[in-house]
Structure 1
């Protein structure tokens, strides 16, 4: 068992431009790996890029970033067929699973076809740390706001539901995210929701909020709850990494 209890770090960050590579991992990802508590060997980190159709350049750049960080990297690739004999065994053998952003609607559909949803839940309960950015944050929750269906944001409500909350990502940089999230919580389409500005993440132990952490000096985190027929937003204290 990697962690003492199921752990998720859901973020709007963790990846940045690299100096000698296209990308490098930022402190939110480093912290997710630290949460796994690996000692005496390189952490095993599996990248999942389903949300961008297993784009080969994305997978290459993530692998490069992982090697620079000193991780023992692998991918779970689903297009055009799974690249491992057993998805379940591969995910259970990881310390951290990191999910790339992109289309959360497509990600959820493809995962369910291949049973990745079931395997991820088993890995999470076994102590594998789950993390990721954007779609790789929303997916762990009941749902959130997405541009999966077009340029006008829409709700997605069929997330994996490991966490019984909604999730708002890119809360400070995409101006339509916040008002839509508020309206979805207010009318009951989404449950009470945790939201993150860019560069901020939420740590959950089990299904409970543990803390908000940030890799930048100014990003915020918020809890949006239903109050009558309206939404109430409360800022959450953020610890700077």
Structure 2
């Protein structure tokens, strides 16, 4: 299939990478599910992992320890990663004894480490016995990208837990690189979700994140920077104890497939198509210019009467009247809201825009420097007969939410 990293996913994450790689901090990317092991026909998350290495041909190490180094699991890994321009390898630690120095040499020579799913208890037992836990910590500090799915995501946090044989869920002490806890498969396994909430409620494990299949949490250092997904409808949740109950707060990931929707790469584009692409791109550039000028009347003049506006939370607004209200509210909250364009791609009436959104939350009519934000963002626009018929925003709004929560709490 693909022998080089997809231009599509590279475009999606390039502006994120430019911000992140400036920092000399390790990356940890924890998947709730999905990737090559659960969704072999959807490798968007795997592409994303490879991109974080910033290497043309990264070396990738698969650790299937939690799954007992099962041959089928290892075969799945190679089937997927042999499609990419990378150097895949694996280690079977539960079946073979590898001298510590050799193990350290192999692990620390990698660009990306992916830890498979299975039993988190067994994983931690084997890693502590072999000394891999100490080597992995060194790899993190050295800047090697760490990642994993299910048990391979749980292991990076302080608190883990084990599927019961006696119906009693027990805490497992994990690596502790990241605070709190992590629950994978949050949409597929009701018993796991229920047990996770009960353990948080009882105080046996700390608060954390419930993450659905196809969603990943991307940490830089110990700070959660990005939430991304390979499915447009997948979600993650902050799960924590508040007073006498456990609460869930929904987090909307940035969908990595945005360009797949907007731009199907063709080998041939004729001259007439090029003319249309230029026209549509210019229409969208003019629309963005009006956004930055806060010209709501001009924006509405460029949209069709039945146009749809979908914000980054997935909430849609239809029709001119409601759209005017939506723009007025946005620009009241953020009087200096600005879209910065870094790249635009157009195809078949769909235009994809990549860049950043920035602004300041106005509090009590004041614009304070401490309330500024700037976040990576993407937009798609559907253009028909010279009018915008659909405008959709994709962004990680966590920094904005924090500003709003701070304002509401009066801190």
- TM-score, normalised with respect to structure 1: 0.89
Task: Provide the C-alpha distance between the structure 2 equivalents of 1:146 and 1:203, rounded to a whole number of angstroms.
Answer: 24
Task: Provide the C-alpha distance between the structure 2 equivalents of 1:59 and 1:3, rounded to a whole number of angstroms.
Answer: 33
Q: Is the 8 A contact 1:173 1:197 kept in 2?
A: yes
**Displacement after TM superposition at 1:152 (Å):** 4.2
* Residues 25 and 76 of structure 1: CA distance in aligned 2, closer, same or farther (over 3 Å): farther
In structure 1, runs of 5+ residues without a counterpart are none
Report how many residues are paired: 235
**Displacement after TM superposition at 1:64 (Å):** 2.6
Equivalent in the alignment of 2:141: 125
Task: Provide the C-alpha distance between the structure 2 equivalents of 1:82 and 1:138, rounded to a whole number of angstroms.
Answer: 24
* Residues 54 and 17 of structure 1: CA distance in aligned 2, closer, same or farther (over 3 Å): closer
Equivalent in the alignment of 1:197: 212
- Per-residue CA deviations over 1:53-76 (Å, capped at 9, x if unaligned) read 112232233123211222201112
Task: Provide the C-alpha distance between the structure 1 equivalents of 2:119 and 2:142, rounded to a whole number of angstroms.
Answer: 27
Q: Is the 8 A contact 1:145 1:177 kept in 2?
A: no
Please, which of 26, 40, 45 is the counterpart of residue 6 of structure 1?
Answer: 26
Q: Is the 8 A contact 2:37 2:77 kept in 1?
A: no
SS at 2:225 equivalent: strand
Equivalent in the alignment of 1:35: 52
Task: Provide the C-alpha distance between the structure 1 equivalents of 2:23 and 2:92, rounded to a whole number of angstroms.
Answer: 25
**Displacement after TM superposition at 1:163 (Å):** 0.6
Equivalent in the alignment of 1:181: 196
Task: Provide the C-alpha distance between the structure 1 equivalents of 2:107 and 2:205, rounded to a whole number of angstroms.
Answer: 29
Please, which of 126, 132, 150 is the counterpart of residue 110 of structure 1?
Answer: 126
- TM-score, normalised with respect to structure 2: 0.53
Equivalent in the alignment of 1:64: 79
Please, which of 151, 157, 160 is the counterpart of residue 135 of structure 1?
Answer: 151
SS at 1:86 equivalent: helix
- Structure 1's consecutive aligned runs of 4 or more residues displaced over 4 angstroms after TM superposition are 22-25
Task: Provide the C-alpha distance between the structure 1 equivalents of 2:250 and 2:194, rounded to a whole number of angstroms.
Answer: 16
In structure 2, runs of 5+ residues without a counterpart are 1-20, 257-411
* Residues 174 and 232 of structure 1: CA distance in aligned 2, closer, same or farther (over 3 Å): same
Task: Provide the C-alpha distance between the structure 2 equivalents of 1:9 and 1:153, rounded to a whole number of angstroms.
Answer: 29
Between 156-165 and 129-138, report the one with greater CA deviation. Answer: 156-165
Between 121-130 and 222-231, report the one with greater CA deviation. Answer: 222-231
**Displacement after TM superposition at 1:120 (Å):** 0.5
Higher alpha-carbon Rg? 2
Q: Is the 8 A contact 2:112 2:144 kept in 1?
A: yes
Say if 2:226 is the partner of 1:211.
yes
SS at 1:219 equivalent: coil
Task: Provide the C-alpha distance between the structure 2 equivalents of 1:65 and 1:24, rounded to a whole number of angstroms.
Answer: 9
* Residues 30 and 174 of structure 1: CA distance in aligned 2, closer, same or farther (over 3 Å): same
* Residues 152 and 218 of structure 1: CA distance in aligned 2, closer, same or farther (over 3 Å): farther
Task: Provide the C-alpha distance between the structure 1 equivalents of 2:140 and 2:42, rounded to a whole number of angstroms.
Answer: 22
- Per-residue CA deviations over 1:131-160 (Å, capped at 9, x if unaligned) read 11101111111224442x438472433111
Instruction: Flag the structure with higher helix content.
Output: 2
Q: Is the 8 A contact 2:27 2:145 kept in 1?
A: yes
* Residues 26 and 13 of structure 1: CA distance in aligned 2, closer, same or farther (over 3 Å): farther
Q: Is the 8 A contact 1:76 1:83 kept in 2?
A: no
- Per-residue CA deviations over 1:196-233 (Å, capped at 9, x if unaligned) read 11111111111111121100111101111221232221
Q: Is the 8 A contact 2:42 2:230 kept in 1?
A: no
Equivalent in the alignment of 2:63: 48
Please, which of 83, 88, 95 is the counterpart of residue 111 of structure 2?
Answer: 95
CA RMSD of aligned residues (A): 2.4
Task: Provide the C-alpha distance between the structure 1 equivalents of 2:238 and 2:41, rounded to a whole number of angstroms.
Answer: 29
User: What aligned pairs does 1:162-173 form with structure 2 within 5 A after superposition?
Assistant: 162-173=177-188
